[in-house]
Amino acid sequence: MAIPHAPPGQAIDIRPLGPELSAAVTKTLIKTDRLEVIRLVVPTGKTIPPHKVAGAITVQCLEGRVEFTALGETREMHAGQMLYLSGGTEHSVKGIDDASLLVTISL
């Protein structure tokens, strides 16, 4: 099934999902040949094992808390924090609380 993504110039809602978070799933919000933006849903205790992507990424915590591991360090991220990784950097994520992350991939 084709997934509709936002066209350029159209505003997307990236506010915290709040009470809807527990039933939410990961969703690609923007997808072009240069740029991809994903809202990654990470429930409490869920681990996304080490992986990497070709392009540079930013990771922004929209709500909840996660453990984010990369470059030999594990750090806690909570709402209002962002970090970036160069392309090809292995990283993993674990939900401390139910969380959602905005991941922007520069392709």
Q: What is the binding site for a second copy (CB under 8 A)?
A: 6, 8-15, 29-30, 32, 34-35, 37, 55-56, 58, 60, 70-71, 73, 75, 77, 79-87, 89, 102, 104, 106-107
**Beta carbons of 55 and 105 less than 8 angstroms apart:** yes
Nearest-approach distance from CB 50 to a second copy, in angstroms: 14
- For residue 25, the minimal CB distance to a second copy (Å) is 19
What are the tokens at 52? 């990497």
Q: For residue 62, give the nearest of 14, 5, 6 by alpha carbon.
A: 14
Cα separation, 103 vs 60, in Å, equals 6
1: tokens are 């099934």
Cβ closer to a second copy: 96 or 102? 102
Closest separation between CB of residue 80 and a second copy, Å?
4
